[in-house]
Structures are given as structure tokens and as C-alpha cells.
Amino acid sequence: MFDCEAYGSEGTEMGVLCFQSPVSGKRVCGSREECEQVMTSQRQRVFRRIQELSAAGGPEWEFLEQAFTSPEQLLGSDRDDDD
């Protein structure tokens, strides 16, 4: 079994197994590799959206664009790998 890349071991301890699952205790990703691919895609999507909204002039989005300069900074990417 593996921890969700977004939630880490803390999520597993709380029963939150998968970022993709709408239901706690359920896993959608079938492997760590699939989880990594899903989360990479989600990070890129969120990062692009922050940039779009910042370009539209929203000050809160401009702040987020300055705070997150890379998709890898989003959605639990910086967790220590305990495995």
C-alpha cells in the first residue's frame, strides 16, 4: 500500500486515501506511479489556473502566483518521502 502523494501519511492515518476519490477510505489510483502522474497533472492544471486568474488582475491570484513559482510547490509535492 502507498500513501497518496497529495495527502501523505497523515491522510492515510485519517482514512483519506486518494485525492481523486470523492469518498474517504477509497482509492482510485492503482499504483504509486499512477498517483504521481495524476498529481503532476493536477499541479500543472492548478498552476496554469493561478496564472490565468493573476493575469486577469485578481490581487489574491497575483499573490498566489508570486508565492507559487512552480507547479511542484502545489498539492503536497514537497512532502518528505518516508518510504
**Is the confidence at residue 78, as pLDDT, over 80?**
no
CA 69, distance to chain mean position in Å, is 15
Cell numbers given for 8 = 501523505
Please report the pLDDT score of residue 41 as a whole number: 95
Q: What is the dihedral of CA 46, 14, 29, 2, to 10 degrees?
A: 110
**Is the confidence at residue 83, as pLDDT, over 50?**
no
Please report the pLDDT score of residue 82 as a whole number: 44
| pTM, 2 dp | 0.78
d(CA 47, CA 25): 27
Please report the pLDDT score of residue 79 as a whole number: 53
